[in-house]
Structure 1
Amino acid sequence: MTCPLQAASVRVLFEKLNTQDERGYSCLHWLVATGNDRPLPGVLKLGADTTLRDAHSLTALDHACKLGRFHMVQTLVEACPALLYTVRESDGRGPLHFANESTQASEMVMLLLELGADVNARSRLGRTILHESILRGTNDEHVAYLLAYGADIHARDVNGWTPLHYAAYLGQVKMVEDLLYYGADPQATDDCGRTPLHVTSTKVTMPQWDQDTTTAMMSGVECSQALLQTMEWSRKFGRRTSSEIVRTLLAHGATTWVEDKNRDLTFSLAARNGEVDVTYEILQVAAMEGLFG
């Protein structure tokens, strides 16, 4: 026979289970935040709502992915597999994108993929976790794992940038080499007609980028949010032009005669931006390609 007091306590607990505080945290959010996984299965059996979002529109699973709570992630996904495919409305990022922010990103992403997450899930900016991994300067082994798991090496974001565009722009020599080894296209063009060779030949100063972004926003360009985020990540992770990247791209089939939509060739962009070594590297190959007759 159930004790009336115990029954009343359970009833009160059930009523409070999905109550959210001023931060939007439910019972599940707090369990994840504190790392207290022992009550989790029981709380889920009592009817805790796994789809509740906090003030930042994050579910308990999103937080668990960010915080590296492996056991809790597995328990939450087993309780509600559909959580793997739910995304935040504001930016279209889901559990896999948040897992990529964890200090144990490789292991957490691996777990989610084994549980059935889509390796090519895209944010509203059109970025997969392969794009974001490169932007975050993730180690080569992590990127190699994503590619082995079926990540689309040719995926384009809302600006038409492939992972190779980002690696080239950010001056990640080893990453450029790895992406080319796995089959990235050195001739892929973005929405402005620029190849990875174009973007690594261009040194966009941050004030100029700020101005370009403001202009895009005033013009109602849909990709303005993408420009803003790329600008922020460039500030955070640094950016440098590398003649070594230019040599690598040229050695893997990049050509010097491709014009962007402004009719700029790669060497003219490099020369305009004072990239002497890069200009020299490109001009040498351009001459061999017969660009000057």
Structure 2
Amino acid sequence: MDRLVKAEPNEVELHFQKNQKCSSSFKLTNLMHTMSVAVSLTTTNPTIFSINKPLSVIPPLSSASYIIHLSNPNINQPPLSNPADVITVRTSMLPTGKANTDDLRRLFNKPGPHVFRDAVITVALVGPVVAEFLISNRSSINETRSFFTKAISACEKSHLSNLLKPAIESGESDYVAALIAAGGNANFKDSNGKSFIPFAIRAGKLDILKLLVASGCRINDSVDFVLHEAANLNRIDIVKFLLEFFRDELDVNSVNTEMRTAIHVAAMEGHVSVIEFYVSIGGNPNAVDSQRLTPLHCAASRGHLKAVEFLLEISDVKYARDINGKTAFEVAEESGHTRLFDLLRYGDTLLRAARVDDVHTMKRCLGEGVEVNRKDQNGWTPLHWASFKGRIKSVKVLLEHGAEVDTVDDAGYTPLHCAAEAGHLQVALLLISHGASHKSLKTFQHASPLQLGSFHKHVSLHHYKKSESIIA
């Protein structure tokens, strides 16, 4: 005979609740027909688990029930260990059939090998509190898969569904799969109607997202804002997956509670590739939110240079003002994002200085690296403005700093056209002397006959000298 007693069951489950008493019962049966058996019960961690009858006697062919308790009920997290805690059952035949506690203690403390094999009963902590603890503390307990499977085996379906959210947020797809397999509702919605999809996106786990969709999870984009969530994480792969399954339910220009589109969100985070993708599928880069902030305002407020550059190329809201009357430049200025100043305003300062012949400001702007050929909303460069206004000093400064003399505006006009239209002879001649083409220039509409004659004379003389130098 290799054992004296039979343990039922071979694993006891304790439904753990925070700061509450926790206990479970098990039974031992004496397999001897004519002899009593002495029993000693010990736990791996006696400071955590205790047994009501650690020493006892079981009559022949009789059974005895025992209770294991959590020693300290005032704890708020399950005392898990790996390997799992166990109850060790030691047995010895008792010919006399009777023995007091001291006799039993002496019997089991006697040195030497034990004759009969000891039974081992595993202690399993189960329930939603245990499962949630495992989800949030996975890194602190090795090989928790078996612990988790055991913990959720004692959960009701409502508990399983409630556990899905923290499991998704943890990014552990095996936990999510186990909960759904055990009966968790993947299409569960919270009190606001929000699905699990946004939480999977925030976790950045495409595999969990696919698992949820395959398990019947559906979105309500009026509260889920899935395109916004994906934009925030710079995840075009997630966007493409969402569009594949929910295209009819998604609008790239839908707004969240702040009236912001997904492009606003991407701009706030500086995710240029996402902005470009959303625009390619119909996203509006000129949209305004509840504060009349454009995506350009959002990018400027965070100092995202590349996003600002891209938005300036595809939108026409450089001069748009928010609810407080601020442009994107002023928003960037408030936040101290100086590297955006040239893009958003310094070019404007140069344009203004060219218009009023403020040579000092022009030289300062150009010295700080402002693009001399930057255009305004009509395609006019500083040279267009200086030529149109007849600011000959400004024209000279701009030409000295590499201004393109034949650059054209949105209507195809060059700075020479502008000078001619406004009747500024000296400016026109200066431009021609720097290589401006006058082939399409017919006349000065506002010039006097004397000015016209002088202009044509100087043009002819300029080209004669140019030809003469070529021949030489």
TM-score by length of 1: 0.55
Deviation at 1:180, TM superposition (A): 2.3
Instruction: Give the letter aligned to residue 154 of structure 1.
Output: N
Among candidates 340, 343, 356, match of residue 245 of structure 1: 343
Match for 2:208 among 72, 97, 117?
72
Give 1:162 deviation, angstroms: 0.5
The answer as to 2:239 corresponding to 1:109 is: yes
Q: Give the match's secondary structure for 2:252.
A: coil
Code of the aligned partner of 2:164: L
CA distance in structure 2 between the partners assigned to 1:192 and 1:53 by the alignment: 37
Closer, same or farther: CA 98–40 of 1 in aligned 2, 3 Å:
farther
| CA deviation profile, 1:121-146 (whole Å, cap 9, x unmatched) | 322112222111121222x2222112
Q: Which structure shows the bigger proportion of residues in strand conformation?
A: 2
* RMSD after superposition: 4.4
- 1:120-135 aligned within 5 A: 120-135=253-268
Asked if 2 retains the 8 angstrom alpha-carbon contact of 1:119 and 1:128, the reply is yes
The question of 1:53 aligning with 2:218 is answered no
Aligned residues of 1:170 and 1:240 also touching (Cα < 8 A): no
Letter matched to residue 119 of structure 1 = V
Aligned counterpart in structure 2 of residue 97 of structure 1, from 205, 208, 228: 228
- Conservation of the 8 A alpha-carbon contact between 1:169 and 1:240: no
Q: 1:100 to 1:68 in 2, by over 3 A?
A: same
Number of residue pairs aligned between Structure 1 and Structure 2: 211
Contact 1:153–1:183 (CA<8 Å) still a contact in 2? yes
Match of 2:311 in 1: 179
Cα drift, residue 58 of structure 1: 6.3
Name the structure with the higher helix share.
1
- Separation of aligned partners in 2, 1:75 and 1:14: 23
Report if the CA contact (8 A) 1:14-1:47 is conserved. no
Give the aligned residue type for 2:188.
T
1:19 corresponds, among 151, 154, 159, to: 159
**CA 1:81 to 1:14, structure 2 compared with 1: closer, same or farther past 3 Å?**
same
Instruction: Show the counterpart of 2:325.
Output: 193
The 1:107–1:249 alpha-carbon spacing in structure 2 relative to 1, beyond 3 Å, is farther
Name which of 153, 165, 168 aligns with 1:29: 165
Give the 3 Å change call, closer, same or farther, for CA 58–81 of structure 1 in structure 2.
Answer: closer
Q: CA separation in 1, counterparts of 2:215 and 2:347?
A: 47
Aligned to 2:298: 166
Equivalent pair of 2:269/2:299 in contact (CA under 8 Å)? no
Cα displacement (A) at 1:28: 2.7
Displacement of 1:160:
0.2
The match for 1:150 is: 282
Aligned amino acid, residue 153 of structure 1: P
Would the aligned equivalents of 1:171 and 1:245 in 2 still touch at CA under 8 Å? no
Task: Give TM-score scaled by structure 2 length.
Answer: 0.37
Change (3 A) 1:40 1:98: farther
Distance 1:242 1:95, change over 3 A: closer
Identical positions, percent: 21
Q: Structure 1's 127 and 147: CA in aligned 2 closer, same or farther, altered over 3 A?
A: same
CA distance in 2, matches of 1:198, 1:149: 30
Q: Which runs of 5+ in 1 are unaligned?
A: 1-11, 88-92, 206-238, 257-275
Counterpart residue identity of residue 131, structure 1: H
Structure 1 residues 60 and 128: CA distance shift in structure 2, 3 A:
same
Counterpart-to-counterpart distance in 2, 1:59 and 1:133: 22
- 1:227-246: CA deviation from partner (whole Å, max 9, x where unpaired): xxxxxxxxxxxx44533213
Q: Which amino acid aligns with 2:321?
A: T
